Amino acid sequence: MELHSPKRAYRPPDGNDPPKRIIHEKELTDRQVDVMELLHRDMGYDFLPMSMISRFDGGSERVLRNQMGELRRPGNNYFYVPEQSENTKDYRNRPQFFGLDTNGYEALRERTLCSETLRPKQSKQFAHDFQINMTRAAIELGVQDDPKATFRRRHQVIARSSFQPPTKSLNPLALHVELSYKGQEVAFDYSTDDLFAVGIAEPTEQGQQYGYRYYMHEAENEKDLRGPLTKRTFLRTVLAIKYVYENELYKKHWGIKSLLTLFTVSSERKLRACLDDVVAEVFPNGCSYIMGQAIPHFHDKNFDEIQNLYATPWKRHGYQDFYLNNPGPQDQRKEASY
């Protein structure tokens, strides 16, 4: 009788294991450098799960995972795994996240793909940054699968627009707002969590041309719905967005012609509360330019299977659902709120 030992579950290289060998910058493949560009936090993403990195890359996930596991080890330090994604009870059963480490930034600088070597960012608000990164990636990957569409990340939008920052903030997206609501007054520099554009090709007399829509994104998972205007709440965010639109600050300071706001929360219940309670109070007749979506939280088992946010409906108060992949007008009103 022949005995077979049970198969061992695959275990990716541990970041604390010594490297099999030191990999010098000149030995990096074009594929590895492309992934480093993707994870450059000023040009791409702070961090992403391996499954999404592989979808951007288009190659074998297992091969890429093994390579990145070796490149993250001490002595190589091209990638790192965020501490918060490992400090969970069952992190080995969850998809692995990667961000760009010091030597990764240096490798890009050596290739003149970036101007400076940044330090890796260990997020102090992992759940918040997780939602920002996953939302944009779920949209960009949907655009990537649409042959008629193209995607611009924040740095590309800034580079192609006549940005004139109105404040001394280091954040080029900061806009000064002055709010007055129910006897409360407050002034502060409002900064959106993200900014990007989606262009969809449309036939014209001059041939195919891209019509771009610009979106800013607010990750609302950690905020309370209400509170005093001195506190960061969803209500204050909605009032700030209203001020930005009514005063057309996106035109004056960002140099873009139009703007829509996406917000994400981690549950359908909170999405309904945001729309039916807060947005409905500020906009009793409905709002066409603020729309929301519920995506799973990092601790949910199915978070790595986030839907294609480019093709799924975004909910609005007083208006029909909005689709990012529809280039036509979407201003149809509806009788009942979501």
Closest residue by Cα to residue 164 from 255, 42, 260 = 255
Q: Tell me the Ramachandran region of residue 112: left when phi exceeds 0, alpha when psi lies from -120 to 50, beta otherwise.
A: left
* Block residue for tokens 């909910």: 315
Q: What is the pLDDT of residue 6?
A: 44
Q: What is the pLDDT of residue 20?
A: 66
Amino acid at 143: V
Q: What is the pLDDT of residue 297?
A: 75
- C-alpha–C-alpha distance, residues 88 and 104, integer Å: 26
Cβ-count burial 243-260 (b if 16+ within 10 Å, e if not):
bbbeeebbeebbebeebb
All structural domains of the chain, each given as residue ranges with its CATH number in brackets, are 25-110 (1.10.10.10), 126-305 (no CATH)
Q: What is the pLDDT of residue 337?
A: 44
Strands in 149-152's sheet, in edge-to-edge order, are: 149-152, 194-204, 207-219, 260-265, 290-294
Mean pLDDT per 10-residue interval, the chain, length 338 residues: 42 56 86 95 90 92 91 92 67 74 91 70 78 94 95 90 66 89 95 95 76 94 85 95 97 92 93 96 97 83 78 96 94 71
Q: What is the pLDDT of residue 13?
A: 52
* 229 in Cβ contact with 236 (< 8 Å): yes
- C-alpha–C-alpha distance, residues 282 and 265, integer Å: 19
pTM, entire model:
0.87
- For the record, the structure tokens of 272 come out as 């309904």
Q: What is the pLDDT of residue 8?
A: 40
* 64 in Cβ contact with 57 (< 8 Å): yes
* Block residue for tokens 């601790």: 299
Amino acid at 234: F
